[in-house]
Homo-oligomer: A and B are copies of this chain.
Amino acid sequence: MATVFNGRKIAQNIKQEVKNELSQLKEVTHKTPGLAAILVGERKDSQIYFRMKKKSAEEVGIKIFETIFPENTTQEEIEKVIQKYNQDTNIHGILVELPLPIHINQAQILDMIDEKKDVDGFTPQSVGKLAMKDRDPLFSGCTPLGCIELLDRYNIPIESKHAVVVGRSNLVGLPTSMLLLNRNATVTIVHSKTTDIHEKISQADILVAAIQKPEFIQGSWLKKGAVVLDVGINQIPDKTQKSGFRIVGDVDFENAKVSLGEDGFITPVPGGLGPMTIAMLMRNVLKSFKMHELKN
Contacts and interface: CB of A to CB of B under 8 A. Distances in A.
A143 interface: no
Q: Which of A123, A124, A195 lies at the interface centre, i.e. has the most chain B CB atoms within 10 A of its CB?
A: A124
Interface residues of A, number: 33
A128 interface: yes
Given A128-B126, A128-B131, A132-B127, A187 B186 contact: no
A126 B48 CA distance: 34
Interface in A49-91: none
Interface string A151-191: 00000000110000000111000100010010010111111
Given A191-B186, A193-B160, A194-B160, A128 B123 contact: yes
A219 to B, nearest CB: 22
What copy number does this chain have within its complex?
2
Nearest to A193: B184
A131 B189 CA distance: 12
Contacts of A131: 127-128, 130-131, 174, 178
Interface in A107-166: 107, 123-135, 159-160
Contacts of A132: 124, 127, 170, 174
A189 B181 contact: yes
A170 B131 CA distance: 8
Interface of A: 107, 123-135, 159-160, 168-170, 174, 178, 181, 184, 186-191, 193-195, 200
Q: What 10 A-B pairs come out closest when comparing CB atoms?
A: A128-B128, A124-B128, A127-B128, A184-B193, A188-B188, A186-B194, A131-B131, A124-B125, A132-B170, A124-B129
19 contacts: A124-B128, A125-B128, A126-B128, A127-B132, A128-B130, A131-B131, A131-B178, A132-B170, A133-B168, A135-B170, A159-B193, A181-B191, A184-B193, A186-B188, A186-B189, A186-B191, A186-B194, A186-B195, A187-B189
